[in-house]
Amino acid sequence: MIGFFFDFFLIGFPLLVAWKEKKLGKPVSLRKIRNAFGWLGFNYCSLERLVFSTLVLFVGMLVVSVLVDFVLTFLGINDIAIAHRRLTALKGMPFLLFYVFAVRIPAEEVFFRGLLVKKFNVLLPALVFGLMHASYGSIAEIIGAFALGLLLSEAFLVNKTIYPNILAHCLYNFVVLILYV
């Protein structure tokens, strides 16, 4: 239940900020709602651009993950197995997995990229994103999430739309689950 309220905050708070930033007072109209979502990065993207941007970002996420894994292993501080054990707990929870992909990932992208990147640029949102992964109990997870947060933030700025981030983030988490669960 706490997770639900957390996700509601991750989506609701950016919408309130977008509403305020766009000075979208009364009365409520579909155009004003669309403007608030657009301010958070829900901007039109052609199908070709969406597919291309998503695949480039997904491959970039895989490369960054492998590089982080290699560096942490070289330094002797790779404790990612702790996070993998936590992920194994999701194996028998299909509803929770559905929830993560349908709600949590889009909520994270709206909050960290759609709102925080717009307000604080790239570094702070990536740092907070990394720290949010501390619940896995793994230093490697925090460092990896920070590095991926940098990449996702930069991709959001380049693409000017949040859709490739959501899709690449979902695809990446799906592959991680397939490999480690």
pLDDT tens readout for residues 55-76: 999 999 999 999 999 999 999 9
Alpha carbon 135 to chain centroid, angstroms = 16
- Alpha helices, DSSP H only, in the chain? 2-21, 30-39, 47-75, 80-88, 94-99, 105-108, 118-120, 123-132, 139-159, 163-180
The confidence score (pLDDT) of residue 85 equals 78
| Contact indicator for 164, 50 with CB cutoff of 8 Å | yes
Verify cis geometry, omega within 30 degrees of 0, for the bond prior to 164. Answer: no
Contacts 24+ apart (CB under 8 A), 102-105: 103/7, 104/3, 104/7, 105/166, 105/169, 105/170, 105/173
Between 176 and 91, the more confident residue is 176
Question: pLDDT (tens digit, 9 = 90+) per residue, 16-53?
Answer: 887 777 665 566 677 777 888 888 899 999 999 999 99
Distance CA 91, CA 23 (A): 45
- Tell me the pLDDT band of 159, cut-offs 50, 70 and 90: very high
- Tell me the pLDDT band of 86, cut-offs 50, 70 and 90: confident
| Contact indicator for 163, 42 with CB cutoff of 8 Å | yes
- Residue 101 is classified by DSSP as I
| Contact indicator for 173, 101 with CB cutoff of 8 Å | yes
The pLDDT of 158-162, averaged and rounded, is 96
pTM for the whole thing?
0.90
Return mean pLDDT, the chain: 88
The confidence score (pLDDT) of residue 2 equals 64
The confidence score (pLDDT) of residue 152 equals 98
| Contact indicator for 159, 53 with CB cutoff of 8 Å | yes
